Structures are given as structure tokens and as C-alpha cells.
């Protein structure tokens, strides 16, 4: 039996689908559905039970889960980089994660959890997952909450069976409920469908032309392959980057969406809101050396191939 927290969320639901593709249906999905539309991500997927996060938290803290899982894939968190309630983020992203990790330690359960590239801040110290965590300075409360848990896990040597994943810019099926936090791939497709034109933020640093700010974009299907490999290789522990390993510009991304739709590109550059300018990452690129050294050899899909798959097989068929 596997437990997937945040199992109705973006990466979590994608992994539930991946487990189903492996013939695994004994899955406990943990989430908070409320009125978010996240429930739609569970349609068409097989799982044995659903549990609200608060009930799950109570059960693991009191050791009253009826069955010990083979592994917990902990994707449950608030992933909004614009959420400014740091106390809420520390409760939801830090304390909750600590409780999950402590349960896994007590019961010798494999733990795969979501960290974030937001922990790197502006990237002034690079993007190596082997860097001293004390040298990192996140730019927002979300990044801080993830960084705090990474530090907590490091203080415990990541336990014998724990691994954290620093996800970079993930996109793909299952993100439509995220609204303003959804990927620029989805937003671009939506804008093209409504106006034919895509809007991107202007650059406020002279070394980056408008639309040439660069991020490491990674397809959610590639993330799931890696997560499955980690469930099969319990000896791999620690903290790892999850990205394509190649920074690409927002212009490249948008042009890939237009190309997938077989349409000429139309991009307009707009002002970035003042409150975002001080916490904006102009460049991210995952170093994959640590991951490759751990034995993961699968290639990551190119931006163009990933976007084409997402647009043609999911967005254009209304199954996102």
C-alpha cells in the first residue's frame, strides 16, 4: 500500500496515475479538496481510500494508521509562491512534513518528499543540490518553508530511507486547478485560445532581454518516472534536484506552445507587478550531477517534446 499526500494536487495526482499504470491501485490519497476543483484530478484514477489531511495527521501522530504503507510520497503542501502568511506555510509545509517524516522513521517506511527550487533564492550561490544549505537565501515565505524542512531533514541525516526532491518549474496535466500558480505553458495555451496573443513579463535587469529570463522547465511525466525509480531504489537518500538540467527562456517556452498548435507566435511584454519584482528568479538551472551519480540514468524530455505532448495529448483534448 502506498500513501500519496497531496494526491489530488498536480504532481501527486500525476503520480497516482503513474502507479495505476504499474498496476498499483492500493493507494491512500491524502488531501484537502474543499471547493478547489482538485477532486477532478482524481477522476479516472484508481485508489483504495481517501483521507482528509487533518485526519491523516492525527492518525500518524498517534500511530493509529490501520496499515503500515510500503512508502509515503509526500507532495502535500501549499505551493503558492505569492502566499505571504508565513505562519500558515510553516504549519502546512514544515510542521506537517515533520510529522510525516517522524512517522516514517518510527516505522521504517520509505519517504519521498517535495522540496523546491525556490529554496535557492536568486541563485547567487548556484543550483547545486550538494551546496551547504546554510548558504541559501529563499526569496519568499514558500521557499523558506521548504528550505526549513530540508534543513530539518539534513539535521537528521535524512534518515535511512528518506529522499527530498527540489522540483524546478514543473508543468503538465493536472495543474488546471492551480489558477494563477499554473504553468506558463497552460496560461499561454489559454491566452492563445482567447486572444491569439501571449503576455510575458518585461525584464528589469539589463543582462536579460524581455522574455529571455530563463528557467529550468521539467515535464511532470519525467518527474513521475524519477519518483518511481526512487521507490525501487531505497538505498538512494538525500536531497536531489529535479529539472531538465537545461535553462530555457520564456520566449522558447511560448514559441513551443505556438509550434505545437501550428500557429505563428504573437508575444506582448507587459509590466511585472511591483510586489513580484523583488522575489523574481531570472535564471534557474538544475545541476543533475548528484542525481546521475546516484544512478538515475533516464533522460529528461526536451522542452519542445514535452510541450507538444502536453498541448496535443492533453490540453487540446480537454483532459488536462
Judge whether 213 and 282 are in contact, CB under 8 Å.
Answer: yes
Counting beta carbons within 10 angstroms of the beta carbon of residue 164, is it exposed (0 to 12), middle (13 to 18) or buried (19 or more)? Answer: buried
Q: Is 127 known to be catalytic?
A: no
Q: Is 296 known to be catalytic?
A: no
Instruction: Quickly list DSSP for the chain.
Output: -EEEETTTSHHHHHHHHHHHHTT---EEEEE--TTSSGGGGGTT---SEEEEHHHHHHHHHTT--SS--SEEEE--S---TT---HHHHIIIIIIHHHHHHHHHHHHT-EEEEEEEGGGGTT-TT---TTS-GGG---SSHHHHHHHHHHHHHHHTTTTTTEEEEEE-EEE-TT-GGGGGGS-HHHHHHHHHHHTS-EEEEPP-STTS-TT--EE-EEEHHHHHHHHHHHHH-TT--EEEEES-S--EEHHHHHHHHHHHHT----EEEEPPPHHHHTT--SB-----HHHHHTT--PPPPPHHHHHHHHIIIIITTT--
Q: Which of 169, 192, 145 is nearest to 242 (CA)?
A: 169
List the catalytic residue out of 25, 161, 178, 202: 178
Q: What is the CA radius of gyration of the chain?
A: 19
List the catalytic residue out of 96, 113, 142, 219: 142
Q: What residues act catalytically?
A: 142, 178
Amino acid at each position: 500500500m502506498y500513501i500519496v499526500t497531496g494526491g489530488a494536487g498536480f504532481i501527486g495526482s500525476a503520480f497516482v496515475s503513474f502507479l495505476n499504470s504499474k498496476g498499483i491501485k492500493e493507494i491512500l490519497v491524502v488531501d484537502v479538496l474543499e471547493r478547489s476543483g482538485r477532486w477532478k484530478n482524481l477522476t479516472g484514477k484508481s485508489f483504495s481510500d481517501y483521507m482528509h489531511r487533518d485526519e491523516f495527521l492525527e492518525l500518524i501522530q498517534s500511530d493509529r494508521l490501520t496499515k503500515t504503507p510500503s512508502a509515503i510520497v509526500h507532495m502535500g503542501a501549499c505551493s503558492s509562491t505569492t502566499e505571504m502568511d508565513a505562519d500558515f506555510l510553516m504549519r502546512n509545509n514544515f510542521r506537517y512534513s515533520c510529522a510525516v517524516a517522524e512517522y516514517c522513521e518510527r516505522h521504517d517506511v520509505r519517504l519521498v518528499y517535495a522540496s523546491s527550487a525556490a529554496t535557492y533564492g536568486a541563485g547567487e550561490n548556484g543550483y547545486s543540490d550538494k551546496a551547504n544549505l546554510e548558504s541559501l537565501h529563499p526569496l519568499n515565505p514558500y521557499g523558506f518553508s521548504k528550505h526549513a524542512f530540508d534543513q530539518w531533514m539534513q539535521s537528521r541525516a535524512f534518515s535511512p530511507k528518506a529522499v527530498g526532491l527540489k522540483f524546478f518549474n514543473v508543468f503538465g496535466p493536472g495543474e488546471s486547478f492551480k489558477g494563477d500558480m499554473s504553468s506558463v505553458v497552460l496560461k499561454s495555451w489559454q491566452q492563445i485560445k482567447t486572444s491569439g496573443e501571449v503576455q510575458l513579463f518585461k525584464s528589469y535587469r539589463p543582462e536579460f532581454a524581455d522574455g529571455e529570463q530563463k528557467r529550468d522547465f521539467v515535464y511532470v511525466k519525467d518527474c513521475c518516472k524519477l519518483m518511481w525509480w526512487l521507490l525501487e531504489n531505497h538505498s538512494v537518500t538525500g536531497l536531489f534536484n529535479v529539472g531538465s538540467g537545461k535553462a530555457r527562456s520564456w520566449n522558447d517556452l511560448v514559441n513551443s506552445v505556438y509550434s505545437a498548435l501550428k500557429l505563428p507566435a504573437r508575444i506582448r511584454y507587459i509590466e511585472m507587478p511591483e510586489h513580484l519584482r523583488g522575489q523574481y528568479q531570472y535564471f534557474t538551472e538544475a545541476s543533475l550531477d548528484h542525481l546521475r551519480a546516484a544512478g538515475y540514468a533516464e533522460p529528461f524530455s526536451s522542452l519542445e517534446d514535452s510541450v507538444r505532448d502536453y498541448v496535443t495529448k492533453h490540453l487540446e483534448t480537454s483532459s488536462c
